[in-house]
A and B are shown apart, each in its own frame.
Chain A
Amino acid sequence: MTEVRYQPATRYPRPAKRWALVAEHKAGWPSWATADVATVPALTDAEIAERMSGNICRCAAYPNIVAAVREVAEGDRQ
């Protein structure tokens, strides 16, 4: 399959992006992973993964980045 890429090819997992992700969740934003968009979702791993989408390349660091986002969201390192 020929795939057309029209996004900048690389987006690094800059800390600010992860903080924005947490801030958006704290502000009550739903995501595609949210079953009922009228509610404020819990920040599950599925929610974190969907919210990371487009931020970063997909690689082996993924699980650790999910863990880092959760750590920030839980306020351990604000």
Chain B
Amino acid sequence: MKPFRYHRASDIASACASAAKPAVKFIAGGTNLVDLMKLQIEAPAKLVDITRLPLNGIEETAEGGLRIGALVTNSAAAIDMRVRRRYPLLAQAILAGASTQLRNKATTGGNLLQRTRCAYFYDATKPCNKRVPGSGCAALEGINRMNAVLGVSDDCIAAHPSDMAVAMTTLDARVETITPEGSARTIPIDSLYRAPDNTPHIETVLTPGELITSVLLPPPASGRQVYRKVRDRASFAFALVSVAAILDVADNRVRAARIAFGGLSYKPWRSAEAEAALVGAEVTRASFNAAGVAALRNARGYGHNNFKIPLARRTLRATLAQAAGLT
């Protein structure tokens, strides 16, 4: 680890102001950043510790949803009875990630901004456009089993690792931020992440020093919520594919569906194609299969991760069957 300066912020405005400078990073739980600093993949000159800021509450909103503070730990969000009753999808997704010790430290804002676990991003002996812009992408021709199949580019095929963000995407969450200039803005979670294109080192639309203050959950859409995760072992592993679904069924027809995939793209992949295919469809495995075909139509495998395309179709089918109560 390289030496760095440390500043404990006592208010939001000064935290944003001091983090607007180059090579300054916010730190909260540190469950991802500290590991990256040990490997010198991240080498900030200064850390601004935001853990004392008043952003750790979960409150009701006027529209009937919840506002989850950026510093609410993953554990605190997953054990909150309002989250468990109204957004079971989110509790499930959070509990699917990491381990209790990590969830006790990891925060809501940090979870959204965690970096990819692409093996070549972590391997400093290999080229990586995300780690060293312009150096190339070793994953394209490498062991890319964990990498993305949708929405990525030939400069970067890294996948976003979060489970929590996949559920939040299905729930139409909005991310509230504050900029160093003091202005607040609200970003739909689906617009938070930037496609890699030829600048994969720029991962979000946040500007330097812009701080996530909370995540807004609108009132839950009607329907059954299910999070399903497929991984190499039963616990403490990142998703190969995950699905966050809300399925509303009446008279054996789908009234509404919301679908997002994890493990397939640089962001949680909301599938308008799958949702459109489902609306009005009969509640059958064939309909659910057709939704998967629609969702993965533009997917591209890179060799070792080709299996993710049929796996994602089948995982969606199984998730929807579970949500619809098909046995």
A-B contact pairs, 13 of them (CB 8 A): A4-B122, A21-B100, A28-B79, A30-B84, A32-B92, A32-B95, A32-B96, A36-B88, A37-B78, A51-B100, A54-B101, A54-B102, A55-B99
B residues near A4, Cβ cutoff 8 Å: 117, 119, 122-123
Residues of chain B touching chain A, judged by Cβ–Cβ distance below 8 Å, are: 32, 35, 75, 78-79, 81, 84-85, 88, 91-92, 95-96, 98-102, 117, 119, 122-123, 143, 145, 232, 234-236
Q: How far is B91's CA from A29's CA once the two chains are assembled, in angstroms?
A: 11
A residues near B122, Cβ cutoff 8 Å: 4, 6
B residues near A3, Cβ cutoff 8 Å: 119
| B79 A2 Cβ-Cβ under 8 A | no
Q: How far is B102's CA from A11's CA once the two chains are assembled, in angstroms?
A: 13
A74 within 8 A of B: no
Q: How far is B85's CA from A30's CA once the two chains are assembled, in angstroms?
A: 12
A residues near B79, Cβ cutoff 8 Å: 27-30
B residues near A37, Cβ cutoff 8 Å: 78, 84, 88, 91-92, 95
Residues of chain A touching chain B, judged by Cβ–Cβ distance below 8 Å, are: 1-4, 6-7, 11, 20-21, 24, 27-32, 34, 36-38, 49-51, 53-55
Least CB separation from B36: chain A residue: A6
| A53 B235 Cβ-Cβ under 8 A | yes
| B143 A1 Cβ-Cβ under 8 A | yes
| Nearest chain B CB to A20 CB, angstrom units | 8
B residues near A2, Cβ cutoff 8 Å: 119, 143
Contacting residue for B95 out of A7, A31, A49, CB 8 A = A31
Beyond A1-B232, A37-B95, 14 additional contacts (C-beta under 8 Å) are A2-B119, A11-B101, A20-B100, A27-B79, A28-B79, A29-B75, A30-B78, A30-B79, A30-B95, A31-B95, A32-B95, A49-B235, A54-B101, A54-B235
Q: How far is B91's CA from A1's CA once the two chains are assembled, in angstroms?
A: 30
A residues near B98, Cβ cutoff 8 Å: 54
| Contact A38-B117, Cβ < 8 Å, known A1-B143, A6-B35, A29-B79 | no
| Nearest chain B CB to A39 CB, angstrom units | 9
Least CB separation from A51: chain B residue: B100
